[in-house]
Structure 1
């Protein structure tokens, strides 16, 4: 009996220490399908039995709730504008069981963040990481003051681009900007809307070579998502791809990217790598110091 009780206590302590894997999905420019990937990647994780929180950080222009076909009562704007609002009050769950926080859209939802807002959000996230296995942040295109510290804290950064030269250039600029702030950050590249597998691989290789040549930084080629009419149909229906067209080429490709991620084939792990909570505490300490 004593051994069983001790084992139970150890399991409870272990669960208390467990924290979510945090992923930021970024792009250098808008219109590359970043949000669609973030939503369906999160749904694929959920379908694997993982507890996921999808967090839309594209404040004022967020669209994950549209992709999910939902209209939440509260968004991150409510959390920022009303100090009495708790982070749990803006978390909603879709029909597939994926929890999400909406950024809202429309000019009336755009808010100006100050240091107090950012610190309050970081503190709220410190508590959320013990409630989920994965937190996926759909970041706004480009870089913004209120999102950079979050990017510096996450475990992994997924960079979504398309074969278009402007998208590739902007994706490189985004990675360079993050790299100059934290040279240890690891980037996982995804090419969306590729007309062929070869076009997608060529696009990713160009980005990889640029990072190595100019920044001496290795990045990981994570996957190619094909141009697929199912995307437009799913958005029109306001039902996620994996739900509305699970056997479409792009849905299957997203699932392959997930399998690769979960298998750890290209996941970088450093013995000195700090976790999301440690990074948040470091950022908060720096702010208060």
Structure 2
């Protein structure tokens, strides 16, 4: 009898770098953990992994070790006891960056049992539309695309969504507008992206939330302390907690769909 899945997997992606995606993924995990959820945060930026840098960590093992004798339990780093763990990646390892079918199958086989023990699997992807990014974006049940109001962010995010929609037949995207000066600016940015997706792809996208520009974000990165711990009451931290509540509500609504879906859909 097949075990019923209860884990919601979400990839956090962006069309371009510099939009605060990794920082947002980390702090969303902390906010979801505050709400009583258990999570695995997977650093899937296989070219330039830096979640460990944001946390001031120096992992002894990472995803590359799973290609050898290491088990998932040997590689994970507890961030908040066993309720929130990090699966660190390695930067610039060709075998991971240019992942073939055999490597993908090996990794998913070793990680599946670990993922099933948690409420959420959050994947922090690399920026852009490389084949590995597209694969990791297509595997999970849900996708969050992080944008900023900058025109280049909107253009590149549209390109990411277009490729996933036309080449991978994916049609569910949630958008977070980060570094917004105001709600009005955020709504305008989202509307421009949504109109392009609707007009050219006949694809509706959803606004998951807005995170306002906040000087505490830069300070937290400089101190290598997550924002929700460094400045828990600042505006950006409050915004992230509101988004976490929506994600938690969405997991409850999608319970039946999650139970019928693999945590990560193999692309082989």
Report what 2:208 is aligned to: 222
Number of equivalences: 265
Is 1:85–2:70 an aligned residue pair? yes
Report what 1:191 is aligned to: 177
Q: Tell me the distance in 2 between the aligned counterparts of 1:24 and 1:143.
A: 14
Per-residue CA deviations over 1:48-107 (Å, capped at 9, x if unaligned) read 111100000111411111222221111112223x2x2222221111246520111134x5
Is 1:140–2:126 an aligned residue pair? yes
The answer (yes or no) to whether the contact 1:188–1:222 under 8 Å persists in 2 is: yes
Structure 1 gaps, min length 5: 1-12
Report what 2:13 is aligned to: 26
Q: Tell me the distance in 2 between the aligned counterparts of 1:276 and 1:87.
A: 18
Map 1:1-289; keep pairs closer than 5 Å: 17-80=4-67, 82=68, 84-95=69-80, 97-105=83-91, 107=92, 109-111=93-95, 112-264=98-250, 274-277=260-263, 279-280=265-266, 283=267, 287=268
Per-residue CA deviations over 1:13-53 (Å, capped at 9, x if unaligned) read 99x53431000000001110000000000111111111100
Q: Tell me the distance in 1 between the aligned counterparts of 2:252 and 2:71.
A: 37
1:224 Cα deviation (Å)?
A: 1.1
The answer (yes or no) to whether the contact 1:26–1:138 under 8 Å persists in 2 is: yes
Q: Tell me the distance in 2 between the aligned counterparts of 1:38 and 1:188.
A: 14
Q: State the TM-score, normalizing by the size of structure 2.
A: 0.90
Task: Give the structure, 1 or 2, with the largest relative contact order (CA under 8 Å, sep 6 or more).
Answer: 2
Per-residue CA deviations over 1:105-142 (Å, capped at 9, x if unaligned) read 4x5x4544232111112222332331111000000101
Structure possessing the higher radius of gyration over alpha carbons: 1
Report what 1:9 is aligned to: none
Report what 1:6 is aligned to: none
Q: Tell me the distance in 2 between the aligned counterparts of 1:63 and 1:103.
A: 8
SS of aligned partner of 1:169:
helix
SS of aligned partner of 2:221:
helix
Structure 2 gaps, min length 5: none
Task: Go from structure 1 to structure 2 and tell me whether the alpha carbon gap of 1:186 and 1:226 turns closer, same or farther (over 3 Å shift).
Answer: same
The answer (yes or no) to whether the contact 1:220–1:266 under 8 Å persists in 2 is: no
Q: Tell me the distance in 2 between the aligned counterparts of 1:270 and 1:211.
A: 28
C-alpha RMSD of matched pairs (Å): 2.6
1:189 Cα deviation (Å)?
A: 0.5
Per-residue CA deviations over 1:184-232 (Å, capped at 9, x if unaligned) read 4310001111111110111011111111111001110111111111011
